[in-house]
Amino acid sequence: MMLETPRLILRPFRDEDIDLLAKMMANPDFMRFSLGPYTREQTQTVLQKFLSWNQAVLPSQFAVIFRGNNELIGYCGFLHQQVDGTKEIEIGYRLHRQYWNKGLATEAARAVRDHAFADLKLPRVISLIHPDNLPSRRVAEKNGMKLEKQTVFRGFPTLVFASTREQWLEERADLHRC
């Protein structure tokens, strides 16, 4: 499955993305508000996880390709999480710093949300965000998510933003009424 937006293509990850992904995940800016820069081995584990979800036809991360230069500039898509004892599907995103503040994460996240609700018919998606991560909070808001609660996730203070399919359907119905 591939998702297309005006400036981006979101396609499934492939084995050969390892070099570029490892380069990005070794960068502290790309890895802000996570566990810090990853080694190539750690990135390989992450990539294998995404590929295994693809193979199992489970919601997975997409490689984000910038149409302007056909480059892989980050990822946006689904992660399988357990939050306060409940299984959740998260929309997560990271972009190369050079591409920040151009609305690209929002463009990608909206496409992923629409895919979640329109195609996969997921009842609910969340985003887990460190309270200090203001750009990411803004992306979640622009993606129609509502702040649900603050919790502790993997030892870090974490805001849970959530959006339900029901809400999304209502908002779309409103749009079509105007």
**Residues at the site binding ligand COA, with contacts judged by CB under 6 A:** 32-33, 93-95, 100-106, 129, 133-136, 138-139
Report the C-alpha gap between 9 and 2 in whole angstroms: 7
Residue 175 class from Cβ within 10 Å (0-12 exposed, 13-18 middle, 19+ buried)?
exposed
Of residues 156 and 170, the one with the C-beta less far from ligand COA: 156
Of residues 155 and 176, the one with the C-beta less far from ligand COA: 155
Q: How far is the CB of 68 from ligand COA (least distance, A)?
A: 14
H helices of 56-145, where? 104-114, 134-142
Of residues 33 and 147, the one with the C-beta less far from ligand COA: 33
Q: How far is the CB of 24 from ligand COA (least distance, A)?
A: 10
Q: How far is the CB of 57 from ligand COA (least distance, A)?
A: 25
Of residues 30 and 53, the one with the C-beta less far from ligand COA: 30
Nearest to 161, CA basis, from 103, 67, 72, 83: 83
Q: How far is the CB of 93 from ligand COA (least distance, A)?
A: 5
CB 65 within 8 A of CB 104: no
Of residues 8 and 47, the one with the C-beta less far from ligand COA: 8
Q: How far is the CB of 25 from ligand COA (least distance, A)?
A: 11
Nearest to 40, CA basis, from 63, 61, 52, 23: 23
Report the C-alpha gap between 140 and 26 in whole angstroms: 25
